[in-house]
Amino acid sequence: MAIPEKQIYPRTGDNQTVYLKNVISDPNIMVGDYTMYNDFVNDPVLFEKSNVLYHYPVNHDHLVIGRFCSIACGAKFLFNSANHRMSSLSTYPFPLFFEEWGLDMKNVADSWDNKGDIVIGNDVWIGYEAVILAGVTIGDGAVIGSRALVTKDVAPYTIVGGIPANPIRKRFSEGTIKTLLELKWWDWPKERITQNITAIQSGAIEKLV
């Protein structure tokens, strides 16, 4: 069972935490059920404007976030228009100012390198003021440290931190990670998750039913 379509605030009296899916209007941003965003500085309802940056329709790029993710205050997702073209002799975005330079308006996107979508798996924890760059995929169960700058893909159930972000350690043994990726508990019906909450919280993978 999914969260109610219009439920924005999951906690009574807490207007700093939202179910992110229910505050998104941009069709190029897709968020799974139960993923939450907390912001104690700005209105979390304004996530699209405050946290998803350089995300312009001309690029057709996407932000995809899975289910049960936890996104901390100030996390940012920087898209392709922030990437000035590096193959050019100049990083100046001449095509963006097509009128000044007599260029074709349809080539505006040639101003920057298009590195692709940002894809966040399920049950990912993104720490305070972390920054995720365009083209990055973060695997299920990963943890992104506070103020990390994520410039490359993160493997499932891996903790990363730093500038640029590098692996710190795996959260579990390879065997446990393999089992979790096979179980995909985040796709279970709400009733089954509820039945297994004690086992999930205690780390008792052998007790999942």
Which residue's structure tokens are 């330079």?
101
Average pLDDT of the segment spanning 45-70:
96
84 in catalytic set: yes
Which residue's structure tokens are 């039913």?
209
Retrieve residue 97's tokens.
């100012």
Q: SS3 for 180?
A: helix
Please list the residues that pair with 30 across neighbouring strands.
Answer: 64
Predicted confidence (pLDDT) at residue 1 exceeds the cutoff of 80? no
Which domains are assigned to the chain? 17-82+114-171 (2.160.10.10), 173-209 (no CATH)
Predicted confidence (pLDDT) at residue 205 exceeds the cutoff of 90? yes
| Distance between CA atoms of residues 51 and 43, nearest Å | 11
What share of residues in the chain are helix, strand, coil (percent, to 5)?
Answer: 30, 20, 50
Residue 36 burial (CB count, 10 A): 20
Predicted confidence (pLDDT) at residue 79 exceeds the cutoff of 90? yes
**What would the pLDDT profile of 39-53 be if each residue is shown by its tens digit?**
999 999 999 999 999
Confidence of residue 6 (pLDDT cuts 50, 70, 90): confident
Q: Are 55 and 63 in contact (CB under 8 A)?
A: yes
Retrieve residue 93's tokens.
């975005």
Confidence of residue 4 (pLDDT cuts 50, 70, 90): low
**Structural element, H or E, at residue 136:** none
**Does residue 164 have a cis peptide bond before it, meaning omega lies within 30 degrees of 0?**
yes
Average pLDDT of the segment spanning 45-66:
96
Retrieve residue 55's tokens.
């995300």
**What would the pLDDT profile of 111-148 be if each residue is shown by its tens digit?**
999 999 999 999 999 999 999 999 999 999 999 999 99
Q: Which of 55, 60, 62, 84 is catalytic?
A: 84
Amino acid at 67: R
% residues pLDDT > 90 (the chain):
94
